[in-house]
Structure 1
Amino acid sequence: MHTARPCRYLYCLDHLDVLPAFLRQRCYCRKPGPAMPRRVSQVTARLGVRSRWMVGDSDTDIQAADAAGFRSALVLNPDSTHRRNGSVHPTASVNSLAEAIDQILRAEAR
């Protein structure tokens, strides 16, 4: 039987291009910093989740996963090509979120 778990949303308001000025700062929450994935890791560990994956479509997504010690899946979305330069090495490169899920499930089944 599947039981629904509550969703949690974590986000960072800090950004170098925003107003008001007090939000205009660099912080470790923003990608590629590791703070946000590490916070997710703490929450999921309490739920008994041991595997750590991050799925994204940009280099900064993969850099954040690396910084937090996660495995990663890079979705090769044509609309975000400008956010990738080939400098990262994800665990998997896929063409869609569905393919990322399939890759993750296969990797976790081993």
Structure 2
Amino acid sequence: MMGLNIEKLGEMIVARRGTLGVRAAAKEIGISSATLSRIENSHVPDLVTFAAICKWLGEDPSKFLGMQPAESSDSVASVHLRKKKTTSIDTAIALGGMIVAVQKALRDRENL
């Protein structure tokens, strides 16, 4: 299956919201209307916003990133962050936890 292009995210949002205004759509997603407007104009969102938009669109985030979804529910999630002086240990732990949580949520959604 061919992956979706991250640059197409804005177009998909516009198509999904149809006649729904930016403010109303942003409220449904749980983000600000300014953020939604920027993304509709080809700006790449942060990870949390990206996850919320993918949920609203009903799309698997891995499709945008050129990744294949896990084949089985017993896959092991792995997180590796390169040690950098600019990344605090708290940030690295939070990012790793968020990545694992998103992977788990996607697996759980597939099993509904």
Question: Normalising by structure 1, what TM-score?
Answer: 0.27
Q: Name the structure, 1 or 2, with higher relative contact order (CA <8 Å, separation 6+).
A: 2
Bigger share in helix:
2
Question: Normalising by structure 2, what TM-score?
Answer: 0.27
